[in-house]
Amino acid sequence: MTAASISDHKSAKLGLSVEEASEIAGIGRSKLYEAMRDGLLQARKFGRRTIILRDDLERFLTALPKAA
């Protein structure tokens, strides 16, 4: 695999860890956990791992109110 195909593969990931979702969204981990707890951001569990689907993260961010 070339460096370009590795980065393409990584950006194509469907499931994100909370840390990855935090980095992509520019929102802190604790705020993402708060949004999950409040039912604003859907997450899934696989064993002990919390997974946020890329589509769910995008839906969450799109639903945030626009800045004044």
- HEC string of the chain equals CCHHHHHHHHHCCCEECHHHHHHHHCCCHHHHHHHHHCCCCCCEEECCEEEEEHHHHHHHHHHCCCCC
At residue 61, the pLDDT reads 97
At residue 68, the pLDDT reads 85
Encode pLDDT of 6-42 as tens digits. Answer: 455 556 789 999 999 999 999 999 999 999 999 999 9
State the average pLDDT over residues 43-53: 97
State the average pLDDT over residues 53-67: 96
Residue 4 pLDDT greater than 80, yes or no:
no
CA neighbor of 56 nearest in space, from 47, 39, 29: 39
At residue 12, the pLDDT reads 75
